[in-house]
Each structure stands twice: as structure tokens, then as C-alpha cells.
């Protein structure tokens, strides 16, 4: 029997992508023996409508720059190309239809998002064709987390080294002239300065 391909999907705004995202994706790849991790920068995510996002094309480019050194990381422009808001359900269904039953899908997410997971659109239907890998991230407590039996069966927790890095902190640092070196790949840092991103605080 041919072994199913194991594919991780890492969604996010990636405004900008940083080592928290990359370490998490790599840890998930290793731990769950994924063949590939696909980074999917969002178009207009439902929960971030108020925050003024950097144009999707630029977030996609930064994600590409950051993932070049990893053979198993690829980037998809699927959400970026869609005009509408993309819910995780829509994205995962599209990947499921693309890969068919030849692949097993794992949605990789940080613990902050897991706390909201029960409110996600069609979460129980999502578990029919997708598992979840939740990275525990410093500052988020999971003690009270209660999932449905269906979700519990498909939800795996994974600890990543304590990386308190966040995109919002990086944006704030750039606006305030603080260093961002070693928080994200150098190419992304250079892209940010070259294109004058995050000069004004918009959070
Ligand atoms: P922001 O500060 O703007 O919310 P962010 O750093 O949380 O940005 P997102 O693009 O919102 O980045 O996150 C994409 C995914 O990566 C989410 O599932 C989030 O939980 C996860 N994530 C973000 N930062 C980390 C980190 N340092 N360690 C592990 N997971 C992370
Ligand atoms: Mg976030």
C-alpha cells in the first residue's frame, strides 16, 4: 500500500513572518513526520478586519523569503488570491479537494488560536478531513480548554521552545526604532527596512 502523504498547513497573517512561526512549523514537521509544510498567508482574515494589514502580496513575499532555506517548506497564494474572507474551513477544504484522499492534512496553529477553535466555522466538519497540531506558546493557558469528542480525537498538542516572538511586537519595535534582529530571518528584516514597512504603529 502506498503511504499517504502527510501535509502540514500553517495559516497566518504573517505580518511579518518570524522565527516563532518557522520553529513551530519545523517542530511539527519533525514530530508528526510531515512530508511538507505549506504556509498560507491570509487574504483578509475574519478576526483581523480592524487591524490594517500590510498588503497580501508583500506578506506573501516575506513568507517566501523566510521559507527558501527549508526544503520541506512551501508557500501557497490560495488565500491571497481569493477576494473573500477565508475561514480555515474554506482553505482546508480547498487543500483536501486538491490533494484528495492521497494526503493526510494537519492544520498547524498556535495555542492562542486553539483557545478559539471551538468557535471556528464548521469545526466538527473540518475534523472529518483534517487533524490539528497546536503549539503551546508562552503566555497562553490551556487548562480550561474543552473540545468536542470529535475534535479531541484529532487534536494534538506540541510544545515548542519558549518563543515569545509575535508579529505585533515586531511591528511595534520597528515603529519605535528598536532592533528586530534575530527575531526573524535576515532577509525578511531587510525587506521590512527596504520597503519602509511598519514605520507607523497601527495596532
Ligand atoms: P500578531 O501578533 O499580529 O497576532 P502573530 O505573531 O500571532 O501575529 P499570526 O500570523 O497571527 O502571527 O500567527 C499565525 C499562526 O502562528 C497562529 O496559529 C499563531 O498562533 C502562531 N504563532 C504566532 N507566533 C507564534 C510563536 N511565537 N510560537 C508559536 N506559534 C506562533
Ligand atoms: Mg496572532
Mean pLDDT across the chain: 89
Confidence of residue 58 (pLDDT cuts 50, 70, 90): very high
**93 C-alpha to ligand 2 centroid (Å):** 22
Q: Which amino acid residue places its CA nearest to atom 6 of ligand 1? A: 166
The model's pLDDT over 157-188, given as tens digits with 9 standing for 90+, comes to 898 886 789 999 999 999 999 999 999 999 99
Closest CA to 183 of 62, 18, 23, 70: 18
Place of cell 502527510: 6
Residue 18 φ then ψ, to 5°: -145, 180
The answer to whether position 55 is within a domain reads yes
Q: Are 107 and 131 in contact (CB under 8 A)?
A: yes
**91 C-alpha to ligand 2 centroid (Å):** 18
Domain span at 157: 5-165
- Report the CATH number at residue 31: 3.40.50.620
What is the pLDDT averaged over residues 65-93? Answer: 92
Beta bridge partners of 173: none
pLDDT at 136 over 90: no
pTM: 0.93
Closest CA to 13 of 98, 128, 110: 110
Nearest atom of ligand 1 to the alpha carbon of 169: 2
The answer to whether position 190 is within a domain reads no
The answer to whether position 182 is within a domain reads no
Counted domains in the chain: 1
Confidence of residue 191 (pLDDT cuts 50, 70, 90): very high
The model's pLDDT over 22-48, given as tens digits with 9 standing for 90+, comes to 999 999 999 999 999 999 999 865 555
Regarding the beta carbon of 109 and ligand 1, being less than 6 Å apart is answered yes
Amino acid at each position: 500500500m502506498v503511504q499517504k502523504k502527510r501535509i502540514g498547513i500553517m495559516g497566518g497573517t504573517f505580518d511579518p513572518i518570524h522565527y516563532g512561526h518557522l520553529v513551530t512549523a519545523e517542530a511539527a514537521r519533525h514530530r508528526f513526520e510531515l512530508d511538507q509544510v505549506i504556509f498560507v498567508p491570509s487574504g483578509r482574515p475574519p478576526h483581523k478586519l480592524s487591524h490594517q494589514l500590510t498588503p497580501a502580496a508583500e506578506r506573501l513575499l516575506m513568507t517566501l523569503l523566510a521559507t527558501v532555506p527549508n526544503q520541506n517548506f512551501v508557500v501557497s497564494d490560495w488565500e491571497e488570491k481569493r477576494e473573500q474572507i477565508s475561514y480555515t474551513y474554506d482553505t482546508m477544504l480547498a487543500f483536501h479537494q486538491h490533494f484528495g484522499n492521497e494526503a493526510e492534512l494537519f492544520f498547524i496553529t498556535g495555542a492562542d488560536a486553539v483557545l478559539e477553535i471551538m468557535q471556528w466555522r464548521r469545526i466538527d466538519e473540518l475534523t472529518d478531513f483534517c487533524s490539528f497540531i497546536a503549539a503551546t506558546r508562552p503566555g497562553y493557558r490551556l487548562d480550561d480548554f474543552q473540545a468536542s469528542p470529535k475534535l479531541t480525537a484529532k487534536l494534538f498538542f506540541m510544545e515548542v521552545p519558549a518563543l515569545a516572538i509575535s508579529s505585533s511586537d515586531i511591528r511595534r519595535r520597528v515603529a519605535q526604532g528598536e532592533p528586530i534582529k534575530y527575531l526573524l530571518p535576515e532577509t525578511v528584516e531587510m525587506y521590512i527596512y527596504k520597503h519602509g514597512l511598519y514605520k507607523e504603529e497601527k495596532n
